[in-house]
Structure 1
């Protein structure tokens, strides 16, 4: 029997779920409901007439693992191969990544020599911590914070500096709260299976269910470290949106906020803010967990409580353009541990990995300063009350102090991305288990997908959209 499915939320997760649903003959109709006037969620790019591109959300995407391969497969299907800007493993942006510690930049080790010798800001060779890790006994907890896991297995110095910084760069979050089981599942699994992260990485094989396309095979052969798109990352949701609009069984509705979901025999009645109603057999929710909690009927209050318990953080992102080449170093960028500056997460040197996004003509330098995250309110106050000039001034001070850049930017844009990154705190896996068991036990025709649950990266979210669609259509 064919099903009518509503997908809530037109971010990359919702668009992906619709895309994969549209391939199935078991779905009679797919209705995408997006509350705002644009699809794409946090994938947002500014394209200037002079050719410059600035990202106000995710930028370089990593091609690794089943999720990374799946995204490249999607790009192939959408005809976006020629749009890809690939950054190989031996590119200066791949080899040079920096930490700002004790008031100066330090290049992270990227070769054997950097691992076997003492490299500041670390007080001893990293290889010693790695080799000693094999002798550390396996943890007995079902989950623990990332900082505790790394401290236990690799020592407090790597946890305090490197892992603290990585958690701030990837999740804009606090390594002392984030779950190792949910945020770095490969590390957790390696310890569980082999009793050692090192042995697990050496002996374990990444099992994937994705057959790589020619593009994904090319990425492996050429050893891509990351990629972007010529017209910016926003080109991906734009292309998906265009493809979906051309499909007969798909309806895309923008400026269509949902007011509530009511359980009816055989499905749901969806009430829209404008008073209209829609009846469907199944709902795939790709909106943030807290937004779904507001839509569910009172009878599902325990599920709503679990959804509301998944926290999010707000990030301030400042894009800057300078005339000429102003960077004292070349690389991807630098991260900042919480011990150095709570409110500053890091700086991305956008012009280095993707010079194709610079404007035409004379040389320029594009940078992005990322601030706030789990420390946003402590640093800047309430997200709704922060003035753009405050963020611009803070970013300018950072660039002057960290990189010696005293020039005035020729172009700038500051944005506050409210509640943009879900935080998988310790026990997140158990919460997911409870929510999905509730949905199953109560026979709710509801599927959870998107960044709130199984991964915050672009590829994770796209893959979760595929899994949601294929579980519903019986392909998974």
Structure 2
């Protein structure tokens, strides 16, 4: 049994890891990476300021643990299994990075702390009033299967909450505009609560009483670990998040049955449907291989570069998942320039700022560290509006002018770095779940459902925890039930 994995980012590396971890009867795994490094959007750079090491991140910077979901526990388990414990810094739920989140609104930075009664600068109603209104609001028409996040929250809770809270939060997470993003996908639990119980609040109340569900039963190793991480907010890798993908690649490279191939983009895939085994001829820049299964972890549209034209319908569906361009600017100052401590701040669309938000990376500094590191995010759904045809220097200047105004900065940065990331974050727009169903149906129609598997951030979660957990699910649930693999397991 020979498996090819396309893409050497966190999804591709994690998939290969779980194939080995769960001992599937696979004799060879080949990971094809088009670039000159493994890790994908996880990309860390070390610099020195004041003789202090600073790690700049272009992509994810922490492993989140705040909700205790199984996908979060799974990522922590992976880090532990890779012996990364000595590289981990645990951030508690009492740390300023966990407790202090801010929104820039009406020309000032406002802490995100709703009140039970009375208004705040971001909310004209207290939480109890909002919950009461949500409870009383009628449920949507059962024929409506999806709508935008903005529509859903405005209808169920309050338009002000959609504009001032949900809008900036999803800008920070997805780089997207909630007037187009799918509520059924990105607020899946809440959307189902309304479908099943008539309101979000009723659904949450019933969920709190529910016993362990069937999904949890399949991942008992994670359920048993939940109690170990109560009170923890995030895990941070001291030498940058790239430590995670580097360790994955190093671990896989030590296995004689795993081949890691850099600078090796896929050029074509040909499927011989008359054969059961070794039915796929995979041609890359550097080799040609006959394999049994192909797992593609790259951005959906990139698959169309090598899929045959006879899969025109599948290619059409894959091309419908758009992705936004992002710009990440890192600023480093030799001194502490922040007026307050916290994770950072986000900017609602109604504030007409070219930046999406600013992360205070130096909130994790030790007491003796004096530098300030800030990461400014720009672009996303607003890339063309603010950044189209702008040079890197113009974008840098734009980013600094904004944070200087927002944070009342008095000094210039001592170091800066800019990265323009093309098609960086897929957008789960209204109808995304139906589109996924069409992709699955098309794979079956073309007799590809046990030959070609799709994973990664284009389909069912863009976060680091999503990508790692979806890789495990693909192996544990889909590959375990692949007929070729089941025959080998007999």
The match for 2:365 is 355
Could you report, residue by residue, the CA deviation over 1:32-91 in whole angstroms, capped at 9, with x for unpaired residues? 000111000000111235421111111122123111111111111111122222221111
Which residues of 2 match residues 170-209 of structure 1 at below 5 A?
A: 170-204=173-207, 205=210, 207=213, 208=216, 209=218
User: Does the 8 Å CA contact 1:72/1:215 hold for their aligned counterparts?
Assistant: no
The match for 1:84 is 88
Q: Distance in 2 between matches of 1:115 and 1:349?
A: 28
Q: Is residue 2:460 matched to residue 1:454?
A: yes
User: Does the 8 Å CA contact 1:346/1:370 hold for their aligned counterparts?
Assistant: yes
1:413 CA drift (Å): 0.4
Q: Distance in 1 between matches of 2:226 and 2:474?
A: 25
CA RMSD of aligned residues (A): 1.9
The match for 1:286 is 297
* Pick aligned residue for 1:106 from 90, 104, 110: 110
Q: Is residue 2:366 matched to residue 1:367?
A: no
Which residues of 2 match residues 30-429 of structure 1 at below 5 A?
A: 30-48=29-47, 50-63=52-65, 64-109=68-113, 114-140=115-141, 141-204=144-207, 205=210, 207=213, 208=216, 209-212=218-221, 216-217=225-226, 220-221=229-230, 223-264=231-272, 265-266=275-276, 267-274=279-286, 276-341=287-352, 343-352=354-363, 354-356=364-366, 363-382=370-389, 386-429=390-433
Higher mean alpha-carbon deviation, 364-373 vs 45-54, is at 45-54
Higher mean alpha-carbon deviation, 131-140 vs 410-419, is at 131-140
1:212 CA drift (Å): 4.6
User: Does the 8 Å CA contact 1:109/1:115 hold for their aligned counterparts?
Assistant: no
1:214 CA drift (Å): 10
Q: Distance in 2 between matches of 1:213 and 1:467?
A: 13
Gaps of 5+ in 1: none
1:341 CA drift (Å): 2.2
Could you report, residue by residue, the CA deviation over 1:144-164 in whole angstroms, capped at 9, with x for unpaired residues? 100000001101110111111
Q: Distance in 2 between matches of 1:456 and 1:174?
A: 15
Q: Distance in 1 between matches of 2:221 and 2:110?
A: 37
Gaps of 5+ in 2: none
CA 1:343–1:216 in 2, change beyond 3 Å: closer, same or farther?
Answer: farther
SS in 2 for 1:177: coil
Could you report, residue by residue, the CA deviation over 1:276-311 in whole angstroms, capped at 9, with x for unpaired residues? 311100100001100012211111110000000100
TM-score, L = length of structure 2: 0.90
TM-score, L = length of structure 1: 0.93
1:468 CA drift (Å): 1.8
CA 1:83–1:203 in 2, change beyond 3 Å: closer, same or farther?
Answer: farther
SS in 2 for 1:392: helix
Q: Distance in 2 between matches of 1:293 and 1:342?
A: 35
Q: Distance in 1 between matches of 2:135 and 2:356?
A: 31
Q: Distance in 1 between matches of 2:224 and 2:439?
A: 37
How many residue pairs are counted as aligned between the two chains? 462
Q: Distance in 2 between matches of 1:34 and 1:150?
A: 40
Q: Distance in 2 between matches of 1:214 and 1:148?
A: 35
1:139 CA drift (Å): 1.6
1:124 CA drift (Å): 2.0
Q: Is residue 2:6 matched to residue 1:4?
A: no
User: Does the 8 Å CA contact 1:22/1:249 hold for their aligned counterparts?
Assistant: no
